[in-house]
Amino acid sequence: MERDWHIEYWWPLYAKQEEHTRRLVCGPGIDIRNDYQQLKRLENCTVIEGYLHILLISKAEDYRSYRFPKLTVITEYLLLFRVAGLESLGDLFPNLTVIRGWKLFYNYALVIFEMTNLKDIGLYNLRNITRGAIRIEKNADLCYLSTVDWSLILDAVSNNYIVGNKPPKECGDLCPGTMEEKPLCEKTTINNEYNYRCWTTNRCQKTPCEDWSICLFGAVCSASRLQQAQVLQTTKVDHDVDLDFQVVPGKRPVALDKKAGPPEQMHSSFVFSWELLSPQNTLALLSCSQCGG
């Protein structure tokens, strides 16, 4: 029987950085409604095991004092509905990187519905929606939708439902550097339109690098037919580092640690995605999927 392997959130670090290896898994599922101060429940969460609901907050507030940079993974789905005053999700979750979609909200892993004040999504570190599509609907002031290439983040783009938002012609979306004729963002093609990709006026959308050798450890699957490989950050790091690996079979974390070298030396039947999370060469392994063939 074939096992479904997932590599859940862990931190391979230099030994002198071990004091930073602690994480806080919150859940199962977090429902924040009616009172914006309930957002404090998200403090120090690095992983939400389950869903995250933020909804029915009718009193407009200043959310600038609410910021949760430690949150990087939601294992199920993210739902936002009628949250007055919130203008950008990037202000709340600047480092949200993965939405796993283990369980979905009517086949959707990301739902943004009737957010009257939302001006941009702004999740500039979001790299992967592992399962499920997105539904972004009836957000009257929401721009920077046409500048995001969702095919870089999820596979099921044909199932995405994006309607009833502010028309792109009324938005005037500009990616970083385009006004100065020094564009900073990468270009991709969507519906035969080759254009710059960004989340906001000052945040580019990050794209997978084409040359894996200059990426962070690259993608591993050389001995098998590659089913899925996503390299998340173009950067060079020192490969001569001892790494601690926590391997999680299925959807529940288990205490299975082992020492291993860089991913190139690991079993070739898996493909890894890596992310550079801090300038101190602190790394996090975000996902692992079994190769086919």
- DSSP assignment of 230-243: ---------S---E
Angle value at C-alpha 112, between 107 and 113, nearest 5 degrees: 100
Q: H or E stretch including 169?
A: helix 168-171
The answer to whether the beta carbons of residues 147 and 116 sit under 8 Å apart is no
The Cα–Cα gap between 148 and 134 comes to: 12
pLDDT digits (tens, 9 = 90+) for 129-184: 999 999 999 999 999 999 999 999 998 799 999 999 999 899 989 999 887 778 88
pLDDT at position 45 is: 94
Place of tokens 């490989």: 229
Residue 24 backbone dihedrals phi, psi, to 5 degrees: -125, 115
The β-bridge partners of 198 are 204
pLDDT at position 203 is: 94
Angle value at C-alpha 99, between 43 and 2, nearest 5 degrees: 125
Helix, strand or coil, per DSSP, at residue 79: strand
Q: H or E stretch including 25?
A: strand 25-26
Long-range contacts of 270-273 (CB under 8 A, 24+ apart): 270/5, 270/220, 270/221, 271/219, 271/220, 271/221, 271/226, 271/227, 271/228, 271/229, 272/7, 272/217, 272/219, 272/220, 273/127, 273/128, 273/219, 273/229, 273/230, 273/231, 273/232
Beta-strand pair 187-190/193-196: antiparallel
Whole-model pTM above 0.85? no
CA 133 to chain centroid: 14
Closest alpha carbon to 132 in 146, 111, 115: 111
Q: Domains in the chain and their CATH numbers?
A: 23-175 (3.80.20.20), 212-290 (no CATH)
Sites in the chain below the pLDDT cut of 50: 1-21, 209-293
pLDDT at position 197 is: 94
253: left (phi over 0), alpha (psi -120 to 50) or beta: beta
